[in-house]
Amino acid sequence: MDPRVTTDTIGSTLKKARERKAMSLAEVSRVTRIPAGTIDSIEHDRFDDLPGEVFVRGFLKSYAQAVGLQGEEIVARYTSSRRVVLVTPLPTASPVEPVRADRRRFGVAIAFVLLLILFTLALSIVLKPRGHDMPSELSSLTRTTFARRPSSRAPEAVLPRRAGLSAKILKSEALLVRAVPYGDTDIIATLFCAQGGKVSAMARGARKSSKRFGGALDPFHTAEVTLQDRGSDLTTMSEARIVRVRAGIVSRLEAVDAAGVALRWTRDLCPPRTDEPGAWDALVRLLDALDEGKTEPNVELAFFSLRLLTEVGYGLELDQCVVCGKLCPDDRPARIDAARGGIVCLSCGGARFQISAKLRQAARLMQRGTRAIISTDEAQEIMKLAEVAMAAHADVAK
């Protein structure tokens, strides 16, 4: 069925396609690596319950391909249904040259207002009571009352705290993935935490003194942070200390570059406030390997790129065509469209990027967490492929 002409909603279209293939929610979840709860939300058109527009489009594309529909058409339907109708601004009347008489009346009105203000000011000066003109009790009271006028707005420090705003304390190991200066002394830190995933925190006074958080806001080192969460997007960092120093990374430029790229990928691909234990483990292992310096940094980074995609649910399909499901023999090269999610056979249009049979087998192992021996050039191929896949699912800055 062509999803463009159906009267069903997006969710019901996908659900009917799944039922025609006799696939359960668990089977779709296993194939697409989309949580079953997310699939249920999609089938009931509860898109506002999902993490964000970028991820919704990725989920829809993967789901559609898994049940034999065209992912691009489903995404196009979703985009059209969510499009915001722009309000046409009201036409502005063209200026009309004012009539000379109107100008004259306007000038007279301005002059009258100015005279009224001057008259009121003069009257207030003349009639202003002085201390010797008033009874002593009234004079004393007036001096006391008006000696210091209190502010009508209470200081922020003494405002009563509203119920329900008590801070929730979050404590976790974390890695700094971005730091943005704020004001003269503060920093807004984006952290990737072992518990809680990506979290933004205000580090007050961090720029004023490097001792404020004990160097915990330096990249590449694992820190233990304590955050106060009051329910807003921005938490407050109250404590931080380094628990794992990686001085070996900063001593080699290649390791610094690789670590920086890995932190950027993690920051841009992982959704906020979502536990990602697999991605955390993969990132820590990469930084430890770069710190030891026993392997080529780009090879380690290539391994991490595939692991990260897999752990956040965007792993590439390297066994069969993502369009028709035809298996690709192990001894044959394959054409991969990373934006579509994996292999696209020639019968389904193919793809520009071709990967050798040997490198495809290595990539399959790496996605499953098993190391494979690859060259630096092959590592560059894998990273190029991974970045295209990341760009298809999230706003990954090049």
| Residue 222 token pair | 């694992």
Confidence tier at 231 by pLDDT (50, 70, 90): confident
Average pLDDT over residues 4-22: 81
268-393 has which CATH code? 1.20.1440.120
**Residue 398 pLDDT > 80:** no
Confidence tier at 297 by pLDDT (50, 70, 90): very high
The fourth-level CATH superfamily of domain 10-81 is lambda repressor-like DNA-binding domains (1.10.260.40)
Q: Would the pTM count as exceeding 0.75?
A: no
Average pLDDT over residues 51-80: 83
Confidence tier at 1 by pLDDT (50, 70, 90): very low
Q: Parse the chain into domains and list their residue ranges.
A: 10-81, 168-245, 268-393
**Ranges 59-63, 105-109, 157-161, 183-187: which has the least confidence:** 157-161
- Amino acid in position 84: V
Q: What is the pLDDT of residue 244?
A: 93
Confidence tier at 100 by pLDDT (50, 70, 90): low
Q: What is the pLDDT of residue 176?
A: 95
- pLDDT tens digits, 101-136: 566 666 777 777 776 676 566 545 444 444 444 433
Average pLDDT over residues 351-374: 93
Q: Which comes out higher in pLDDT, residue 41 or 331? A: 331
Distance between CA 201 and CA 190 in Å, rounded?
A: 6
Question: What is the topology classification, in CATH, of domain 168-245?
Answer: OB fold (Dihydrolipoamide Acetyltransferase, E2P) (2.40.50)
Answer whether 10-81 and 268-393 agree in fold: no
